[in-house]
Amino acid sequence: MAMWFARSRNLVSILRQNLGLSATLIKRNHSSPRPVFTNYQLSSRVFLDPSASFRHESTAVETQPDLVQQSDHEDDAQELDFPGGKVGYTSEMKFIPESSSRRIPCYRVLNEHGKIISDSDFIPVSEKLAVRMYEQMATLQVMDHIFYEAQRQGRISFYLTSVGEEAINIASAAALSPEDVVLPQYREPGVLLWRGFTLEEFANQCFGNKADYGKGRQMPIHYGSNQHNYFTVSSPIATQLPQAAGIGYALKMEKKNACAVTFIGDGGTSEGDFHAGLNFAAVMEAPVVFICRNNGWAISTHISEQFRSDGIVVKGQAYGIRSIRVDGNDALAVYSAVRSAREMAVTEQRPVLIEVKTAMTYRVGHHSTSDDSTKYREADEIQYWKMSRNPVNRFKKWVEDNGWWSEEDESKLRSSTRKQLLQAIQAAEKWEKQPLTELFNDVYDVKTKNLEEQEVGLKALVEKQPQDYPTGFHI
């Protein structure tokens, strides 16, 4: 059924292009004007073409119910001229309500059964892309499972899963170009996976061995790769947001067909850097896509204890930033939203905010291996979301319904990935660690005198008392 709809839409688009049929051929049920890209704009050729000069019209923004209803007391003819522009005045004293009567709706394309909702706007995804997306989502699942187990076994010191957030990770990455610069928070390894980071490279960082690009200095999951335009993860929350504004600005100044893309969780939006980042990006007109993963929890803190707004999407307007709320369990919706946001950011040189929530990307896993979330959540709650709102299952159903994936493919993928991971872990574990000298490099571009002295001192100490240091520890 879904396939028929998809085909019929494509058929119509072909007709429209070739015969110049009017847009009224497809009837839309909704009364209010809808954000629609013309089929010309939706064709992948145009999107992938960097020289495409079309601009998303401002009508691509949903007309929102006015914050302040015009009243009888308002006198349009009289305006006050203040810094910031003219503004009408009213003699009715009315406060803007603390929240809108209607919550911002969530954009979704696939329903819970993996079927495309009729008349949804979305950017078509080819078989090749869809299969790749699914494979990567499944790979991420396997990777998370195995690394998590490795941590429980004491083989790595720490791990953080992206369980329930596979669609956010993979679909957003798929929607970007490789030149887009990514500044992660820490729950986005799938973006790096999509860009080509290997399972071996992930394992090396988690084990902090000599092959780790970070030279063994940081905790596990603090990945970074300049080759993949993925900035190194740092533990402090939200610090990457104003940096993303600076990076977006740099890309704008270089006239690159690229933007900065940065991720943050629901908790992180309470940080001052969230405000700083969005405000700077808006004022500097920097091409930045801010993606907020709202999974409802910041460790043990529920969002009701985090903010009193209607989530994060409403905050965008406060900064003059276009925003959208998306179902994070729906890979197609995430893909379309991020793709559109990215194009807007680059072609219009502006920031865009995406709240990936929806019935939320539910954080099925614990916050990290240092957390046991059954302490603050009912086990039943976790189970419900696990089954019914699983982004991987939902996308899998759609891909399978299209005839692009089979159970055979599934078991082949999962077992080979698992095998590859176990091998990667075994190899990474055996690989020697960084030599002591790397402790002192890269603090500055060139080692300073005090560091040289300290290195000499430490080496002498290690040589004098080798029994105090782990076996295999080398200078």
Partner 1 sequence: MASLLGRFCRKLVVPGSAHGSRMVSTTACDSEAVKSLNLYSAINQALHIALETDPRSYVFGEDVGFGGVFRCTTGLAERFGKNRVFNTPLCEQGIVGFGIGLAAMGNRAVVEIQFADYIYPAFDQIVNEAAKFRYRSGNQFNCGGINLVFNLPSKSLLLIRLLFIGLTIRAPYGAVGHGGHYHSQSPEAFFCHVPGIKVVIPRSPREAKGLLLSSIRDPNPVVFFEPKWLYRQAVEEVPEHDYMIPLSQAEVIREGNDITLVGWGAQLTVMEQACLDAEKEGISCELIDLKTLLPWDKETVEASVKKTGRLLISHEAPVTGGFGAEISATILERCFLKLEAPVSRVCGLDTPFPLILDAIKSTVNY
Identity (one letter) of the amino acid at 455?
E
Our CB check for partner 1 shows the closer of 218 and 301 to be: 218
At its nearest, how many Å lie between partner 1 and the CB of residue 298?
Answer: 18
Beta-carbon count within 10 A of 283 CB: 12
* DSSP single-letter state for residue 225: B
Strands (E), 70-194: 74-82, 85-90, 181-183
| 348: its two tokens | 């219009």
Our CB check for partner 1 shows the closer of 92 and 254 to be: 254
At its nearest, how many Å lie between partner 1 and the CB of residue 110?
Answer: 35
At its nearest, how many Å lie between partner 1 and the CB of residue 175?
Answer: 22
Of 149, 305, 381, 438, which one is the catalytic site residue?
Answer: 149
- Say whether 53 is catalytic: no
389 strand-pairing partners: none
- Say whether 368 is catalytic: yes
Does residue 261 sit in helix, strand or coil?
A: strand
Of the candidates 133, 132, 44, the residue with the CA atom closest to the CA atom of residue 343: 44
Our CB check for partner 1 shows the closer of 60 and 250 to be: 250
Our CB check for partner 1 shows the closer of 242 and 365 to be: 242
Our CB check for partner 1 shows the closer of 195 and 386 to be: 195
At its nearest, how many Å lie between partner 1 and the CB of residue 22?
Answer: 44
What is the C-alpha end-to-end distance of the chain, expressed in Å? Answer: 65
Of the candidates 104, 99, 100, the residue with the CA atom closest to the CA atom of residue 294: 104
> Contact positions toward partner 1, by CB under 8 A?
181, 212-215, 217-218, 222, 224-227, 231-232, 234, 236, 239, 241-251, 253-254, 260, 272-273, 275-277, 279-280, 283-284, 441-446, 448-450
Our CB check for partner 1 shows the closer of 38 and 441 to be: 441
Q: H or E stretch including 354? A: strand 352-357
Cβ distance 191 to 184 under 8 Å? yes
Of the candidates 321, 323, 327, the residue with the CA atom closest to the CA atom of residue 293: 327
- Say whether 367 is catalytic: yes
CA pair distance 167, 326, nearest whole angstrom: 11
At its nearest, how many Å lie between partner 1 and the CB of residue 72?
Answer: 37
Of 162, 323, 368, 373, which one is the catalytic site residue?
Answer: 368
CA pair distance 449, 389, nearest whole angstrom: 57
At its nearest, how many Å lie between partner 1 and the CB of residue 200?
Answer: 16
Q: Are strands 322-327 and 181-183 parallel, antiparallel or unpaired?
A: unpaired
- Say whether 275 is catalytic: no
CA pair distance 138, 470, nearest whole angstrom: 37
Cβ distance 358 to 328 under 8 Å? yes
Of 100, 235, 388, 411, which one is the catalytic site residue?
Answer: 235
Does residue 410 sit in helix, strand or coil?
A: helix
Our CB check for partner 1 shows the closer of 213 and 431 to be: 213
* CA pseudo-torsion sign 295, 109, 196, 184: negative
At its nearest, how many Å lie between partner 1 and the CB of residue 256?
Answer: 10
Catalytically active residues are 149, 235, 367-368
